[in-house]
Amino acid sequence: MDRVFKSKVDWWYHLLLFILIVICFVVVIKGNIAAVAVVLLITALAVHVMLSTYYIITADGRLVAHCSIFPRKEIGISAIEGVERTIMPVPSYALSLSRIGIWSGKGLWMMVSPQNEKDFIKLLKQFNPDIKLINDTNFL
């Protein structure tokens, strides 16, 4: 059975949404229809990203990262060599800076931010017990 892990959402993402909503009200008051359309579109995309960023560990041993309109990313759990806690603020399918870097033979595959990190790591290790916990023994 597939297991779905929603992404954590940090305060900064909520702040971004708040700022977009305030900007929306300001452009409505100013009466600029084109600006209203653009800001509403950006706000709708930001909300959609927040509601549709998640990770699936499939029953057949694959990790799937999903983030809104962006392409799904998939890796076989058997190809994962290590996981590491990180706070690197680079673009990724993660809405929190409390991230887990997933390493494969080709380097850093993806950074994710599942709400329940411990269950996420335990489930990965059930499929691949050879996954190394890089620089952190507090995952489990």
CA-based torsion, 1, 126, 101, 116: positive or negative: positive
Q: What integer pLDDT is reported at residue 137 of this predicted model?
A: 53
For residues 8 and 114, the answer to whether their CB atoms sit within 8 Å is yes
| Tokens of residue 96, six digits | 């929190």
Q: What integer pLDDT is reported at residue 14 of this predicted model?
A: 94
Q: What integer pLDDT is reported at residue 119 of this predicted model?
A: 94
Quick one: average pLDDT of 86-106?
90
For residue range 18-57, what is the model confidence (pLDDT) as tens digits?
Answer: 999 999 889 999 888 898 899 999 999 999 999 999 999 9
**Cross-strand pairs, 132:** 82
Report d(CA 137, CA 135) in Å as an integer: 7
- Identify which of 38, 43, 54 has the alpha carbon closest to the alpha carbon of residue 13: 43
Q: What pairing do the DSSP bridges indicate for beta strands 73-76 and 80-86?
A: unpaired
Q: What integer pLDDT is reported at residue 136 of this predicted model?
A: 66
φ, ψ of residue 78 in degrees (nearest 5) = -65, -20
- Identify which of 60, 62, 66 has the alpha carbon closest to the alpha carbon of residue 77: 62
